[in-house]
Amino acid sequence: MNKKPFAFSPLKSKIKKYNFIGFDVETYKYKGQQVFYFGGIYYYDCKGNEQYKVYFDKIEFAKELLSPKYSKYIITATNLSFDFTAVFEDTHYFNEIQTIYRGSDLLLCNYNIPTKKREKIKFIDSMNYAPFSVEVMGKILKNPKLEKPEYMGKRKSKTQDELDYFIEYNKQDCKITCDFMYFLQNGVNKLGGTLKNTIASTSLDTYRRSYQLNTWRKEQDVLNDKNIKKFIRSGYYGGRTEVYRRGKYKNLNYYDINSLYPSQMLKSLPLPQSAIYPNKKCVSNIEKFMGVSNVKVKVPSHINKPPLPYRTDKGKLIFPTGVFTGSFNHNELYNAILEGCEVIEINQQLIYRKSFKPFKSFINTLYNQRLEQKSNNDPNEIVTKLLMNSLYGKFGQSKKQKCEITDLRFLTPEKKANALLFDEGDIKGDKMINISEEEYDGVFSFPIISSYITSYARIEMYKYLKQYDVIYTDTDSIVTSEYIEESTELGKMKLESKIIEGEFYKPKMYKIVTEEETNIKVKGVNKCSISEFEKIKKGKEINKEKLSKIRESVRRGIGSRTHILVPKLLNLQDDKRVWHDLNSSPIHIEVINND
């Protein structure tokens, strides 16, 4: 019996509302590791009264967090990985809690309550929705974080006054996290959605529940071809990030586009269920229909900023001249043809007979509401912006990673023996780590949607790259000495800042000085200082101290939250362009196949 194909349809269920608990753990440094000092939880009871509890015993705090009475709440931390491991690592509860990671970040945890069927305790990270610190969240809520104790993270409190203040500090942090979750939820509910596990999932829920009009069906179901999704995805590329001129420059303008990706979501997109294989693969199909084609293409060498992306063997995205083979959306291919590129050969082609504009109401409603909120200094503008910017990428989600970490010390002898015999995880010290990755094909997985939106965005940015003397570009922004007419309209350029002095060396490596601040970006170096930036420029090694997260800690065979010194020696060479002193030209390649 054939499995019934999934359909992506509008949601009809009622909006859900949740109750939240904010929790936070304080630690101190002991033998190079941040260890548990005390933890607090803050919430509102059924009568709306504030409740705050503090625990200095780690096991007692763990038991409290896993109490069945909290099954109706979602327990939230800001930086969940830190607080979760501080409480549960090295306890027998560790193996009983299911964890879900995104990379090295812990997204959420579930604990199934043994005494109550189908009830669980759920932990989540506030950063799943917004990358805000407690300090930033407090400013948004107009309820500021208290001043940090000078000894925090270094030692325990020495006096009762110190301890009383530290507890009050912890309470305020817990309250801010708790209140921010209610703030987020209220904003999402007003826009017609239910708060889900991440901001992208929440945005998708809001769209389906309040803005989606029609049902979509997947190309592989319409064409009865399981491999077509892989082909469609091969034409999906990210944003363009390049340096065109290196070195120091003064008196520059930093522009970016007002909500670049949301603005491109207003355009026509391929209707997934209208996909067909054409009877004849030809260039006219590229000009007439939306679709994807795998082609051999020639990009003339005189084009200084070529229009087509190319993914190297190492996964790097470049924009070369020459002859190469790749898969591209028809809008990007057609734009390349207009720029003088030539399609030499078509190897595979998929076209869509119909187009639609599924996000018009969603984007226009949210953007107009955001403008109104900004003019009224309404903090809900942040929620609206987050939802508007987070939807498009959800349709392109491709991988699902699973990570299981087991503390062998807390297994029964029988389970430990089975784990050692049959599990394929890596064993480091007392822990075993299993990491697996699989293709993800959720009901919302439509890579052609994300692919077209991102290609529209690259084409929009290309207009400015051609017209102006651009020194640096990154996805939705450019740095230039020239003037560009500004606008507050959706999808138009605005002046983000006036640059007094800027230094640019390679993609995601620069220093920008404005009247307000000095902004340093170095990929791979978190919070790079001015002195560190100067050392990197000279090719010197720098050392960054950080706290190890749990996955890294297991791999290193050390405890979580251990202070480790990580040496960084970065190469200033930019391999996305060919450099001639301070100026550059595109890479020229001659590649026949790029499967």
For tokens 């795998």, the residue is 294
C-alpha dihedral sign at 289, 295, 300, 304: positive
Q: Which two tokens stand for residue 118?
A: 């189908």
State how far the Cα of 306 lies from the Cα of 577, in Å rounded to an integer.
11
Strand pairing category for 19-30 and 73-77: parallel
Nearest residue to 138 via CA among 22, 27, 38 = 22
For tokens 């104790």, the residue is 149
pLDDT at residue 221 in the model: 94
Separation in Å, CA 72 to CA 42, 45, 55, 67, 316: 14, 11, 21, 11, 46
- Tell me the CATH class for 19-196: alpha beta
Contact 36, 87 (CB under 8 A): yes
pLDDT at residue 1 in the model: 38
Alpha helices in 28-159 (DSSP H): 58-65, 80-88, 134-140
State how far the Cα of 301 lies from the Cα of 321, in Å rounded to an integer.
5
Helix, strand, coil shares of the chain as percentages rounded to 5?
30, 30, 35
Q: pLDDT per position in the chain (595 positions), as tens?
A: 345 556 899 999 899 999 999 999 999 999 999 999 999 999 999 999 999 999 999 999 999 999 999 999 999 999 999 999 999 999 999 999 999 888 788 999 999 998 777 889 999 999 999 999 999 999 999 999 999 999 999 999 999 999 999 999 999 999 999 999 999 999 999 999 999 999 999 999 999 999 999 999 999 999 999 999 999 999 999 999 999 999 999 999 999 999 999 999 999 999 999 999 999 999 999 999 999 999 999 999 999 999 999 999 888 999 999 999 999 999 999 999 999 999 999 999 999 999 999 999 999 999 999 999 999 999 999 999 999 999 999 999 887 777 888 888 888 888 888 777 767 777 877 888 888 777 778 899 999 999 999 999 999 999 999 999 999 999 999 999 999 999 989 999 999 999 999 999 999 999 999 999 999 999 999 999 999 999 999 999 999 998 998 888 888 888 889 999 999 999 889 999 999 999 999 999 997 554 4
State how far the Cα of 179 lies from the Cα of 173, in Å rounded to an integer.
10
pLDDT at residue 437 in the model: 78
CB count within 10 Å of CB 273 equals 18
Q: Domain locations in the chain? A: 19-196, 200-213+358-396, 221-356+448-520+582-595, 530-569
Q: What is the CATH number of domain 221-356+448-520+582-595?
A: 3.90.1600
Q: Which two tokens stand for residue 37?
A: 């000092």
pLDDT at residue 591 in the model: 75
The residues facing 75 across adjacent strands are 21, 123
Contact 308, 297 (CB under 8 A): yes
State how far the Cα of 575 lies from the Cα of 76, in Å rounded to an integer.
42
C-alpha dihedral sign at 455, 460, 466, 470: negative
